Amino acid sequence: MDKVSTIILASSLIIIMLGMGLSLVFDDFKRIFIYPKAILVGLVNQIIILPIIGFVIALAFPLKPEIAIGIMILAACPGGPTSNLIAHLAKGDLALSVSLTAISSFITIITIPFIINFALVQFLDEGQIIRLNVVETIMQIFIIIVIPITIGMLIRKYKSYFALKMEKPVRRASGIVIALVIIGIVIKEKENVIPYFQQAGVVALVLNIATMLVGYYSAKLFKIKNKRAVSISIESGIQNGTLAITIAVVLLGNSEYAITPAIYSLLMFFTGGAVIYLGIKQTQKESQI
């Protein structure tokens, strides 16, 4: 993609992160002390188990390197604002979902460069390998994630009425921009879209479903209540596709790596819809007992 498209994409992610910050309060970070077990299980799923599952999937399927790297970029990313919306609609624990998104967004600033460098070494030929500068990458991710979220949280703290009023328009605007970015990637890679979709569509769906199942049953294993288990499942399986696309295009400079995250960003709404349906059904069942 050209420089203008790259700037638009980075700006889009900054707007999305600002919008997420507008929905956060500093108490969201205190929940790690209120229910540490649920937070810890959720973070272990996101930070450790998710990349392992992504790597296993990338090895298990006969994938082109670009698809495999796209899977690993996704697996390195935290949850995003979409996961919070799905958790809310699925009758999960919204506070837990928001807290996990916020905390994992900060932690993955450190883990993302290492996971992506690992993927580049594993899936590219030696002559093709381009290593990310870890310190530089951390700073770039810090600028496009932490600073906008922090600004959004400060606005929410000191100008709460304005923050609540702007939260929905910002989310809509960012959604429109990322939709246009995905369309742009599809147009640019039009010759590769169909063969890549045949590969990436299946593995993205497998990653999505596998991580949600692992998230839910790992929560149940530790006897975490169903509402919180639903949120952990969603946070484990619904990743920040916009961040993954931004990493592929802006940090790695390769729109082919963005194909898998772009396809994933579309598929997750279908699986998210299924989770919402199951969550509502489970809530209705519990209310009848």
On whether residue 36 sits in a domain, the answer given is yes
Q: Which residues contact 12 (CB under 8 A, 6 or more apart)?
A: 174, 177, 178, 181, 242, 246
pTM of the model: 0.82
Question: Quick one: average pLDDT of 116-132?
Answer: 75
Domains: count for the chain: 1
CATH number for the domain harbouring residue 198: 1.20.1530.20
Domain extent, residue 207, equals: 3-280
On whether residue 33 sits in a domain, the answer given is yes
pLDDT at 56 over 90: yes
pLDDT at 94 over 70: yes
On whether residue 146 sits in a domain, the answer given is yes
**Residue 30: predicted pLDDT:** 74
Q: Of 68-72, 144-148, 266-270, which one has max mean pLDDT?
A: 68-72
On whether residue 270 sits in a domain, the answer given is yes
Q: Of 44-53, 81-90, 146-155, which one has max mean pLDDT?
A: 44-53
On whether residue 286 sits in a domain, the answer given is no
On whether residue 285 sits in a domain, the answer given is no
Q: CA quadruple 282, 283, 286, 288: dihedral positive or negative?
A: negative
Question: Quick one: average pLDDT of 22-46?
Answer: 82
**How far is 80 from 60, CA to CA, in rounded Å?**
27
On whether residue 289 sits in a domain, the answer given is no
- Token reading at 147: 């600073």
Q: Are 145 and 17 in contact (CB under 8 A)?
A: yes
